[in-house]
Structure 1
Amino acid sequence: MVALAAGIAACKGSTSGGDSLPSGNDVPEAGPSPSGPNEDDAGTGADTEVTPPVAKVTVTDETIVIDGVTREYVLATPADIDPTRKYPLVLVLHGDGGTAHTMRALHTVDDVSGSDAFVAYPSGIDMHWDRSLDVATNSDMHFMQSIVDTLNTKYRIDAARIFGVGYSAGGFMVNQIACRTGLLRAIASHAGGAPYIPGVDNGSPDCSTGNLVAAIVFHGVDDGHGYGVDVSSGVYDAQYWADRDGCATTTSATSPAPCQAYDRCPSDKPVELCIVPGLGHIPWKESVKTEWAFFTSLP
């Protein structure tokens, strides 16, 4: 494991055309970002009153039994729920060596989605995801579906707006979930890659009929130096979905820079690629708000 001060997990993967990527070594997960105003900003005068910000979400630790195993996830629930409204749900998956809590600290989707969505951060068994293709025996895929089903018994979850976000091994996993199930409307992949059979030279795998999604892919130019997955993996990820969704092979600049949008995609299945100079095996700091804007812009 490459020792970093805060703890980010790396993953192993495969790239375009089935070529093997450099073997990944686990990297510690990044430490939590500040959750409130800096104490220095609060003031020290005796007459100074500080009104704490109104919480937009309630964060809880949840468990659910899947295939006889108790599974854990962190859930960010809108603090003020409108019972007449259907809410999107975002599933946010960590990299190898990570957990629900480290992923939320590293990539806090609910900081941006706030009271407009439920956000679930699942934990993999032994900090790992099963990316095998047999949905019938894949407990991690059962886990994701069960989170949706469980929340839908308590709240009004919009089944047409379930989004998947994944970092590193979690990026590969959300691609697999999108490809093998009909659960997700769109995905955001960070330092990951297209759906593939782990350890197999399988070129361009076909997804189950009709399992096509909108996709936004983020990857750092400096990824792959001994512990991550090369930037070509992210490029192929975007190319994969652009090809399957029927987009053109050309791209045009979109906001924010340096993101590119594939031309002539179906309006409901856009594909974007953000290749970030100077970025290693870590989510881009602009990616949380960028992916949320991408999700919410979908028809």
Structure 2
Amino acid sequence: MIAKTAVALALTAVATMAQARCGPEPEAACSVAGGEYHVILPPEPTDAIPVVVFLHGWNSNGRNVSNNRALVEPILARGYAVLAPSGSRIIGDGAGRGWNFYPGWEGRNEAGFLENAVTDAADRFGLDRARVLLAGFSGGGFMVNYIACQSPDAFTAYAPVAGGFWRPHPTDCTGPVRLFHTHGWSDTTVPIEGRYLGNKRFQQGDIFAGLEIWRAANRCPDEKPSGYSETGPFLRRAWSGCAADSALEFALFPGGHRIPDGWADMALDWFEEITAR
């Protein structure tokens, strides 16, 4: 019985994905000024669908995100749409893309492109512009941090995974912001302390230094977390008593550079809690 139900849900999700396409092919991308995105709707869409905009990692693309069932299905099951844009920086000769996040890089205004993508998807598919969680992994997580720093009001909240800032760290960020950062304790691709890349031309930043920047942006009264909790394998710490309409939380898990199992439900529980206040 359980197996039949799982198959039925999977078939429903696939059918819904086809209904959300923008072209004649089942996996056709939607085009907007500056780029393209993929979108998958939940099995039973409502009139105003909340949405997770998920930014892929380095050398990937939006289609890969939309095809990542382990990531997408828990989000769809919660009644959210998944919007998966593609980065602007072409990697190699294939379909790989990266995000234009590094300070000083010239190229596409990623925040403007993402705004275009969400607005277009909201008009096409009935997404709720007031309930948009911008999330991303690795390179996409770096992009999430920089957009949250520069334009905290562009999206409802932010949830980077395995991506922070690069050195030199921003001197400050506009606030307040609502942000939930998740990171693997043994991540060697984006270590918590950061590392050099490109013959020391680039240097990843320190995740805890990034949290210091977010506490300042949110005008938190103390460096010390106000709460500690555990959700499955996740060790969580949060700061409260900060600026109105702000939220800041950090979750560590015992693993490496990946999107951990259980992340989607944990992040959406947090998102629903802070947006219900």
TM above 0.5, one fold? yes
Relative contact order (alpha carbons < 8 A, sep ≥ 6): 1 or 2 greater?
Answer: 1
- In 1, are the aligned partners of 2:42 and 2:76 still within 8 Å (CA)? no
One-letter identity of the residue aligned with 2:75:
V
C-alpha deviation, 1:130, in angstroms: 0.5
C-alpha deviation, 1:177, in angstroms: 1.6
- In 2, are the aligned partners of 1:56 and 1:79 still within 8 Å (CA)? yes
Q: 1:77-118: per-residue Cα shift (whole Å, max 9, x none)? A: 2343333xx332221001111122333417624523436322
Match of 1:114 in 2: 77
SS at match of 2:237: strand
For 1:130 and 1:91, how far apart are their aligned partners in 2?
17
Q: Where do residues 233-248 of structure 1 align in structure 2 (5 Å cutoff)?
A: 233-247=206-220, 248=222
For 1:239 and 1:107, how far apart are their aligned partners in 2?
32
The percentage of aligned residue pairs carrying the same residue is 23
Q: Which moved more, 1:228-237 or 1:244-253?
A: 228-237
Task: Identify unmatched segments of 5+ residues in structure 2.
Answer: 22-27, 91-96, 194-205
C-alpha deviation, 1:268, in angstroms: 3.0
Match of 2:33 in 1: 66
- In 2, are the aligned partners of 1:56 and 1:114 still within 8 Å (CA)? no
SS at match of 2:50: strand
One-letter identity of the residue aligned with 1:62:
A
Q: 1:263-290: per-residue Cα shift (whole Å, max 9, x none)? A: 423463221111223x111122121111
For 1:183 and 1:155, how far apart are their aligned partners in 2?
20
For 1:274 and 1:265, how far apart are their aligned partners in 2?
19
SS at match of 2:82: strand
Q: Where do residues 250-289 of structure 1 align in structure 2 (5 Å cutoff)?
A: 250-251=224-225, 252-256=227-231, 257-266=234-243, 268-277=245-254, 279-289=255-265
Match of 2:87 in 1: 124
- In the alignment, which of 174, 188, 195 is matched to residue 159 of structure 2? 188
> Which structure: greater helix fraction?
2
Match of 1:229 in 2: 190
Match of 2:140 in 1: 170
Match of 2:197 in 1: none
SS at match of 1:152: helix
- In 2, are the aligned partners of 1:184 and 1:213 still within 8 Å (CA)? no
Paired residues, what number?
238
- Computed over aligned residues only, the root mean square deviation of the Cα atoms, in angstroms, reads 3.0
Match of 2:52 in 1: 90
Report whether the alignment pairs 1:52 with 2:8.
Answer: yes
TM-score under structure 2 normalisation?
Answer: 0.74
**Structure 1 residues 133 and 51: CA distance shift in structure 2, 3 A:** closer
Match of 1:218 in 2: 182
For 1:137 and 1:72, how far apart are their aligned partners in 2?
16
SS at match of 2:71: coil
Match of 1:179 in 2: 149
SS at match of 2:41: strand
SS at match of 2:12: coil
Q: 1:177-229: per-residue Cα shift (whole Å, max 9, x none)? A: 222233112111111003x5xxxx53433334xx53211111112112xxx11
**Structure 1 residues 241 and 106: CA distance shift in structure 2, 3 A:** farther
SS at match of 1:205: coil
